[in-house]
Amino acid sequence: MVAWWCQCAGKRCSAAICEYVSTLSDMSKQCCQTKRLSCQKLRVNKLIPTSKAKTTKRLANNNKCLHEMADIKEIVIVVKWSGKEYPVDLADQDTVEVLRHEIYRKTQVRPDRQKLINLKHKGKPAPDNLKLSQLELKPNFKLMMVGSTEADIEDACSLPDDIGEVIDDFDDAEEREESVANSAVYLAKVQRRVRDYKITELSPPREGKKLLVLDIDYTLFDHRSPAETGTELMRPYLHEFLQSAYEHYDIVIWSATSMRWIEEKMRLLGVSNNENYKIMFYLDSNAMISVHMPERGVVDVKPLGVIWSLYKQYSSTNTIMFDDIRRNFLMNPKSGLKIRPFRQAHLNRSKDKELLKLSDYLRNIALHCNDFNLLNHRKWEHYDPKKNS
């Protein structure tokens, strides 16, 4: 395209701006159409080409812009907060501050109240002015956020003390538990897990130790209550409990979530690198099996056979598993101890002593009971070592 326009009496004739003419004669014709005398007196030497330099520069700018646009990558960050996931669409040229703003739009948690747990740059929390491209986030990066909405904070101040527990569970299902535990279909599923699931050992098993398998959510950590920091959601005495248990037990963490998430939570709680105890390994939802219950449909459970098949030194005689949901024990009903769930962390932080009491129970049964099959964990609070020694 050649762009020309005419200049009449020293002024640019707007009607004659004819970017689509390619010859001077066309230009004359076009100008004549304006029926302006000045234009009819158009002389060739009054015709000036559009500043070629300007056009070139504009095109160059356009091209540069197109290239830059092509270089900008769209990214989706999935924000995990309060038990839900919120996908946030951004460009990699956006800053952390923009990210916070977008999170606010989705969650109503103000940017200054957001704690972005795993958004790190050079080992430190990413500053607000940092571009997301500099964080080198992996596709579908999941960002763990802790923070409270203004409404949550108001509610927390007015909640009553004795909130009833609503738990998705089957407390009265012992017979059903037995039939599930012995079902060939489910035992075959366990064997498939044994074959396919890859356990990454963090610390080796120790000779002569028993096995303690722990759930995370509501057992060690309240993952849904409002809080300013992750440690506010940690169950009281967690580290004391783990340190005490480690004396007699190898410890496994098993949570019905993804491995990345388990690792993040354990890091956040200071469990993964604690010098007073070690975790043998983590198991995630992929190590669970699904079981069909006529009344409840399909549920996922945690079969201890996955561990026992790979580590022959452990069995129902020396293994105990804590979870706040009894159905997770369906394959091993006698090995499970249903812990009181730790919820409403902001209200219960100062009074929850469950882990202290359970520390005593674990020590007592380790010292006084040679076969855990003989125990009834439903009555753990009434356990008398003298009767079992």
Sites for Mg ion among residues 207-226 (CB under 5 A): 215, 217-218
**Nearer residue to Mg ion within complex by CB, 113 or 338:** 338
Packing angle, helices 238-246 and 354-368, rounded to 10: 10
Smallest gap from residue 158 Cβ to Mg ion (A)? 27
Q: Any residues with CB less than 8 A from the CB of 92 and at least 6 apart, and which?
A: 72, 73, 74, 75, 131, 132, 133
Supply 1's token pair: 């395209």
Cα distance between residue 150 and residue 148, in whole Å:
6
Residue nearest to Mg ion (CB): 217
Pair 110, 101: CB distance under 8 Å: no
Pair 269, 231: CB distance under 8 Å: yes
Residue 270-309 contact track with Mg ion, rule CB under 5 A, x = bound: ----------------------------------------
Pair 156, 148: CB distance under 8 Å: yes
> Could you tell me how far CA 309 lies from the centroid of its own chain?
30
Cα distance between residue 80 and residue 109, in whole Å:
13
Smallest gap from residue 282 Cβ to Mg ion (A)? 14
Smallest gap from residue 341 Cβ to Mg ion (A)? 7
Smallest gap from residue 184 Cβ to Mg ion (A)? 28
Phi-psi region of 321 (alpha: psi -120 to 50; beta: other; left: phi over 0): beta
Smallest gap from residue 153 Cβ to Mg ion (A)? 25
Tell me which residue has tokens 């561990």: 307
Pairing assessment for the beta strands 281-283 and 249-254 based on DSSP bridges: parallel
> Could you tell me how far CA 9 lies from the centroid of its own chain?
70
Smallest gap from residue 327 Cβ to Mg ion (A)? 11
Q: How would you class 145 by CB atoms within 10 Å of its CB: exposed for 0-12, middle for 13-18, buried for 19 or more?
A: buried
**Nearer residue to Mg ion within complex by CB, 311 or 329:** 329
Cα distance between residue 219 and residue 222, in whole Å:
8
**Nearer residue to Mg ion within complex by CB, 218 or 282:** 218
Pairing assessment for the beta strands 249-254 and 115-116 based on DSSP bridges: unpaired
**Nearer residue to Mg ion within complex by CB, 324 or 354:** 324
Smallest gap from residue 328 Cβ to Mg ion (A)? 8
**Nearer residue to Mg ion within complex by CB, 102 or 217:** 217
- Under rule CB under 5 A, residue 102 binds Mg ion: no
Sites for Mg ion among residues 307-326 (CB under 5 A): 324
Smallest gap from residue 215 Cβ to Mg ion (A)? 4
Supply 170's token pair: 């089957």
Smallest gap from residue 66 Cβ to Mg ion (A)? 51
**Nearer residue to Mg ion within complex by CB, 223 or 346:** 223
**Nearer residue to Mg ion within complex by CB, 217 or 264:** 217
E strands within 266-348? Answer: 281-283, 289-293, 297-301, 319-323, 336-338
**Nearer residue to Mg ion within complex by CB, 152 or 215:** 215
Number of residues that bind Mg ion (CB under 5 A): 4
**Nearer residue to Mg ion within complex by CB, 189 or 326:** 326
Q: Which residues bind Mg ion (CB under 5 A)?
A: 215, 217-218, 324
